[in-house]
Amino acid sequence: MQFFVTKTGLDAFDTARAWGLAVLLNVLTQDEVRLQDASWAFILEPKGCIPQNAQLTGLGSWVTLFNAVDVQWDSVFVTQRGRQEEKKGQVRQILETQLHSLLSDLQRPDNLVEIGSGENVPGGLEPAAFKGLRHVTKASYREDQLKVSEGHWALSCLGMATCGTYRFSREAGQYRWLVLLPVPQNVHFNYFRDVQELMRPSGLRYIGVQNAAAHYSVQLTEQLRRRAAAQGSLQDRFSAILYFTLFGTRQQVKPSQGNQLNLTPLMDAIQEDPHGTEAMLKWLDYCFRLGATRGAEELALAVTELVMRWDLDAYEKLVKVFVRFIARNQVRYDNLPYERTLLGVMKNVKV
């Protein structure tokens, strides 16, 4: 039985809906759910069957989603302070009451999200939902909130709360929320905490959102590499990491910057040789860790650029900067890369 999350063009909203549906199907079937990106839609296929008169109410794994501390409801509704509990309850109630109609709707490949009526998409979920970003507002500030139908809104909130990562930290001198969401390409979903584990916070001091996103992408790839090495081949692939930042003004939370980081070069590398790429990822991780120390910002920028672009300019910049750090005796001998490590990096560099 296949389910289709037809894309709207709002990247974070679409991806969050796909994760949300995966969580929902996983709770209902208590089994694996396969997620595939078919470019126009995310296609989901649960391994197990959904019982005829399935109910979410009373299911232990369903209740956990609303009580566990690692499900980030407060962060998803960060723009609706004071109403976070109410919104969480609303998500739960909508999914419990509209379950069957929503699932039958999502089984049609031509299902579309009704935009313009329903619930407001929260800014903590989709940065494009903020006013003033979708249309030219000119002198008058009349743009309405981005409203979507209730069922899809609830799915997206569930997906973001369970599979998104929120990190509140001081970066480049300002406190911000860094929001990250991996985009599945071909994933076997078993439990939402498996996805959270891929994006575990590192506790480093990053010099910007790109730097943080690039390091998270290397960490995610390393986790997938380990799984691939243990299982013999790469089972799960992610196409990108969506990232954006939010910052607090006096009264409101506003978006600052965001983009997506293409994971294809890293995924291709670990797919080709899960064992051989270990040293490369370890060295890149070391560069990020050293780059997070005071005075090593240049290295952080260079390694970020490489992970984002994978071109000769970025590679050359990184080796030049790294050799300067060696010269300043800031790199211990054990942390110098082997030739094969650099060959692994070079394999991904496009000239």
Residues that bind other proteins in the complex, under the rule CB under 8 A: 265, 310, 312-313, 315-316, 319-320, 322-323, 326-327, 333, 336-343, 346-351
With beta carbons less than 8 A apart as the criterion, state whether 307 and 284 touch.
yes
Given the complex with other proteins, which of 125 and 284 has the nearer CB atom?
Answer: 284
Q: Which two tokens stand for residue 238?
A: 């992610």
Given the complex with other proteins, which of 135 and 350 has the nearer CB atom?
Answer: 350
Question: Considering the complex, what minimum distance in angstroms separates the CB of residue 48 from other proteins?
Answer: 39
| Euclidean distance between CA atoms 230 and 278, whole angstroms | 13
Q: Of the candidates 29, 267, 283, 24, which has an alpha carbon nearest to the alpha carbon of residue 161?
A: 24
Question: Considering the complex, what minimum distance in angstroms separates the CB of residue 305 from other proteins?
Answer: 14
Report how far apart the first and last C-alpha atoms of the chain are (Å, whole number): 44
Question: Considering the complex, what minimum distance in angstroms separates the CB of residue 336 from other proteins?
Answer: 5
Question: Considering the complex, what minimum distance in angstroms separates the CB of residue 306 from other proteins?
Answer: 11
Given the complex with other proteins, which of 188 and 309 has the nearer CB atom?
Answer: 309
If you compute the radius of gyration of the chain from its CA atoms, what whole number of angstroms results? 21
With beta carbons less than 8 A apart as the criterion, state whether 277 and 257 touch.
no
Q: Which two tokens stand for residue 70?
A: 């690692």
Question: Considering the complex, what minimum distance in angstroms separates the CB of residue 206 from other proteins?
Answer: 24
The set of residues, in sequence order, having a beta carbon less than 8 Å from that of 88 and lying 6+ positions away, is 66, 73, 77
Sequence-ordered alpha helix ranges (H) in the chain:
11-29, 60-67, 73-76, 84-97, 99-106, 150-163, 192-198, 209-231, 264-272, 278-291, 297-309, 312-327, 339-348
Q: Of the candidates 345, 300, 340, 343, which has an alpha carbon nearest to the alpha carbon of residue 322?
A: 300
Given the complex with other proteins, which of 79 and 217 has the nearer CB atom?
Answer: 217
Given the complex with other proteins, which of 136 and 351 has the nearer CB atom?
Answer: 351
Cα 79–171–215 angle (5° rounding)? Answer: 100
Given the complex with other proteins, which of 86 and 313 has the nearer CB atom?
Answer: 313
Question: Considering the complex, what minimum distance in angstroms separates the CB of residue 304 from other proteins?
Answer: 18
| Euclidean distance between CA atoms 181 and 238, whole angstroms | 10
Given the complex with other proteins, which of 135 and 320 has the nearer CB atom?
Answer: 320
Q: Is 322 helix (H, G, I), strand (E, B) or coil?
A: helix
Given the complex with other proteins, which of 73 and 315 has the nearer CB atom?
Answer: 315
Question: Considering the complex, what minimum distance in angstroms separates the CB of residue 343 from other proteins?
Answer: 6
Q: Which two tokens stand for residue 43?
A: 């296609």
Question: Considering the complex, what minimum distance in angstroms separates the CB of residue 70 from other proteins?
Answer: 37
